[in-house]
């Protein structure tokens, strides 16, 4: 099968021929139709400090996929040949305290698909049957490939109640854009997105944001001005940090109402300075978000997409480009430009 492969620890990827993996009795074999390119994959391609510390080479990367089940292990239940599926890429141990308590997203021994085991930049992949998410209704292949990052957005957006609340989303990459659409769907009053790319700010407004705020200058002041334009008087109730930029969390802290709640998915590359005095005296909550709740987040995103054509259209529109697998280098370059939406690779075109 064709696969994007990293033969050893170091920069770069190559398109090469690899054996089709064989599923164990607990696993299924999936023919991959689409794979989304994630920031994680760009780290793995570049082989930065994070990749060197977290990634096991040799490796087929990729964890955001949509595909069709073609083989089912003897011990797998509720998944059948021909099922159209996405998959939870965090493979948990099943025996640690959190796993046994049903908090599998908090497993202390998680293995990542396309990070510590061969993943989805290939024509076939294996996955434990319990990690498979079967689509029981119609779903566009591109949207199916978005379920992993959409799950990040939904996990973040539903971390705190949103009905009637004023929400600020720092960072309008694909996951921030999805979080805007979900916050709008879930009943927020005002939704404001921030970014440093004018194109992404326009996309934020198409997702349902009331304002897209350019934070290339003074981000704190720009958010204050946005509050004024919307007639807000006391500060944001809920913030989502989706950028990882070192200035984003401090700007949120300065613009939250007392008792405000911040869900933080963006991963800073090092320690960042925050006015902790303000966190204390304003009684702010800051909650870290990682991955998706297994499998309540999956249930929530399937249900929301099923019941809202507006949300379906908005989420679908986040895929800004689709490349045949042979053009993977151009696809990775487009994803790295950080100026558009989601870039997806199509394994069915030759």
Which residues are identified as catalytic?
Answer: 40, 43
Which residue number, 145 or 232, has a Cβ lying nearer to Zn ion? 145
Among 15, 57, 70, 93, binds Zn ion (CB under 5 A): 93
Which residues pair with residue 31 across a beta bridge? Answer: 68, 124
Which residue number, 92 or 284, has a Cβ lying nearer to Zn ion? 92
C-beta of 231: minimal distance to Zn ion in Å? Answer: 37
Q: Which residue is nearest to Zn ion (CB)?
A: 38
Question: Is the separation of the CB atoms in 271 and 290 below 8 Å?
Answer: no
Q: Distance between CA atoms of 309 and 221, rounded to whole angstroms? A: 36
42 binds Zn ion (CB under 5 A): no
Sort strands 319-324 and 342-346 into parallel, antiparallel or unpaired: parallel
C-beta of 146: minimal distance to Zn ion in Å? Answer: 10
Among 76, 107, 172, 344, binds Zn ion (CB under 5 A): 107
Which residue number, 109 or 216, has a Cβ lying nearer to Zn ion? 109
Q: Which of 255, 244, 260 lies closest to 172, judged by CA?
A: 244
289 binds Zn ion (CB under 5 A): no
38 binds Zn ion (CB under 5 A): yes
Residue bearing tokens 């689709």: 322
Among 99, 127, 153, 209, binds Zn ion (CB under 5 A): 99
Q: CB neighbours of 198 closer than 8 A, spacing ≥ 6?
A: 214
- Helix 309-316 vs helix 174-185: crossing angle, to nearest 10: 170
Which residue number, 38 or 203, has a Cβ lying nearer to Zn ion? 38
Q: Which of 11, 60, 50, 91 lies closest to 244, judged by CA?
A: 50
Residues in touch with Zn ion (CB under 5 A): 38, 64, 92-93, 96, 99, 107
């Amino acid at each position: 099968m064709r696969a994007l492969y990293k033969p050893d620890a170091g920069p770069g990827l190559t398109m090469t021929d690899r054996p089709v993996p064989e599923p164990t009795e607990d696993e299924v074999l999936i023919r991959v139709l689409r794979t989304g390119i994630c920031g994680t994959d760009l780290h793995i391609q570049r082989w930065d400090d994070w990749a060197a510390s977290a990634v096991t080479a040799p490796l087929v990367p990729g964890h955001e996929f949509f595909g069709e089940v073609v083989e089912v292990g003897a011990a797998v239940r509720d998944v059948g040949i021909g099922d159209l599926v996405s998959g939870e890429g965090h493979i948990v141990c099943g025996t640690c305290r959190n796993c046994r308590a049903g908090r599998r997203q908090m497993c202390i021994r998680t293995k990542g698909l396309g990070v510590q085991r061969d993943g989805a930049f290939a024509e076939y992949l294996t996955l434990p049957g319990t990690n498979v998410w079967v689509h029981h209704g119609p779903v566009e292949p591109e949207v199916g490939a978005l379920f992993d990052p959409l799950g990040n957005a939904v996990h973040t957006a539903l971390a705190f109640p949103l009905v009637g609340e004023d929400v600020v989303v720092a960072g309008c990459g694909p996951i921030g854009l999805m979080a805007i659409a979900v916050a709008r769907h879930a009943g927020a009053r005002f939704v404001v997105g921030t970014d440093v790319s004018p194109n992404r700010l326009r996309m934020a407004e198409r997702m349902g944001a009331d304002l897209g705020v350019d934070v290339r200058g003074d981000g704190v002041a720009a958010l204050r001005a946005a509050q004024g334009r919307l007639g807000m008087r006391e500060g944001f109730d809920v913030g989502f940090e989706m950028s990882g930029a070192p200035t984003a969390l401090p700007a949120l802290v300065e613009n939250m109402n007392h008792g405000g709640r911040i869900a933080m998915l963006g991963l800073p590359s090092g320690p960042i300075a925050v006015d902790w005095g303000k966190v204390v005296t304003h009684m702010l909550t800051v909650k870290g978000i990682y991955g998706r709740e297994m499998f309540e987040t999956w249930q929530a995103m399937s249900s929301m997409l099923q019941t809202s054509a507006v949300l379906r259209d908005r989420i679908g529109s986040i895929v800004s480009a689709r490349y045949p697998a042979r053009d993977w280098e151009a696809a990775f370059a487009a994803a790295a430009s950080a100026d558009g939406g989601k870039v997806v690779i199509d394994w069915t075109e030759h």
